[in-house]
Structure formats: C-alpha cells, structure tokens
Homo-oligomer: A and B are copies of this chain.
Amino acid sequence: MPKYMTKQRKALLSFLSAHADEELSARQIAQTLSGEGISISAVYRNLSALEQEGKIRRVSKNGSREVFYQYTDCTACKNCLHLSCEKCGRTYHMNMPDADRLVAALAQNDEFAIDKSATVLYGVCKECKKQ
C-alpha cells in the first residue's frame, strides 16, 4: 500500500503497463530502468507491494528457480485458467466457460479437483504457431 508516488514508482508502473502480460525478471526491469535512477532494491520493494495489491503476478516455470513478474490484474481473473506461451512468454486468460468445461471433465474422469488459480498450462499460442 504505497502512500507516495515517487518518480521511481512512476517509472516502474509506466514500464510495466507498456509490457502487460509479459514475463519480466527483476534484473531485466532494473536494468532497463537504470537510466531512470531506480535501484534494484526499490524495484524489489515496489514489485512486492504491487504483488500484494494484486496488480502483479509472480510466475516461474516448473522446476526452475527463476522468477518472473507480470503486470496483470489478477483480482480480475481469480476464476480463469492461465495459458503461458513458451515461445513469446505471454500469458493468455482462458474464458470461464471453457475453463470450467475442462475442469469439469477432469473432475469426472480422475476425481481430481483442479485449483484454477494455481494452475498454468504451458504450450505454444496461436500467433507463435503460425511462424
């Protein structure tokens, strides 16, 4: 819950919104914004704050220790599945009817109750498949 709008936070927010739904590492962000005069610790502190506010999602690939951040209003999609493209790194939000159909199918066959908010499906998206 930030109280002041510092120039560092402003720079971070503007950078993030210009790269919505992309996977960015803290290093990547700090490096790009180094010209704006923001330190790596300020980046981390602001990312944590944004995460707590629900404006950002932390993501990581299975089995990897690398963590990325995504500017995505996650309060808006508590009930949808996420698809992550391995080529471009973009996250797609699966609309609820489709998600529910998929989840229901699985519940029926394997008696496994999927947690939609924790699950991410990896693959290749429509756009990247074309190329």
A129 at the A/B interface (Cβ < 8 Å)? yes
**B-binding segment of A1-9, A12-20, A116-124:** A116-124
Contact B83 A110 (CB under 8 A): yes
User: Is A63's beta carbon under 8 Å from chain B?
Assistant: yes
Interface size, chain A (Cβ < 8 Å) = 37
Copies in the complex: 2
Q: Is the CB of B118 within 8 A of A86?
A: yes
Looking at chain A's contact residues, the main secondary structure is: mixed
Over the window 61-76 of chain A, the binary record of Cβ atoms lying under 8 Å from chain B Cβ atoms (1 yes, 0 no) is 1111101000000000
A59 to B64, CA, bound (A): 7
Q: Which residues of A contact B (CB under 8 A)?
A: 57-65, 67, 83, 85-86, 92, 94, 98, 101-102, 105-106, 109-115, 118-126, 129
Q: Which 7 A-B pairs have the closest CB atoms?
A: A58-B63, A118-B122, A114-B123, A111-B126, A115-B123, A113-B124, A119-B122
